Structure 1
Amino acid sequence: MSTRTFTVGGMTCGHCARSVTEELSELPGVTDVQVSVASGQVSVLSEQELSRDAVTAAITEAGYTITDWPSAN
């Protein structure tokens, strides 16, 4: 299992969190998504390491941007 935590900009409410969660949950291997609107932190648990391109595309599809992509946990 792999956990990736990053920061998403522009989220302001529960609807924002749901949109991000829905898009990320559609990525192959994703088993859990946790979103904190207050901090902008998103943690994704997946069966394998997720590519930055795939995560970026999902976040963009939800209408937001990744503002910080730290090294893998």
Structure 2
Amino acid sequence: MSTTDYAVRGMTCGHCASAVTEEVSKVPGVTGVQVDVAAGRVTVEADQPVPADAVAAAVDEAGYEVVPA
């Protein structure tokens, strides 16, 4: 199992967390998504490592931005 953390800019509420969770969950191979709005972090769990650009694209689709940690 692979777990990767991402810093995400722009999340401020539960709706933000839901939108990011929904989009990132669609990335092939992702088995779990945990969002910490207060910390601006998203943790992605997968059976195999998931390409960071795929996660960044999903976060972008939700209306937010992955930023360097």
When normalised by structure 2's length, the TM-score is 0.94
Deviation at 1:68, TM superposition (A): 2.3
Which residue of structure 1 aligns with residue 14 of structure 2? 14
Gaps of 5+ in 1: none
Paired amino acid for 2:54: A
Paired amino acid for 2:24: L
**Are residues 1:29 and 2:29 paired?**
yes
> Deviation digits for residues 44-63 of structure 1, max 9, x if unmatched?
00011111210111011000
Question: How many pairs were matched up?
Answer: 69
RMSD between aligned residues:
0.9
When normalised by structure 1's length, the TM-score is 0.89
Which residue of structure 1 aligns with residue 52 of structure 2? 52
Gaps of 5+ in 2: none
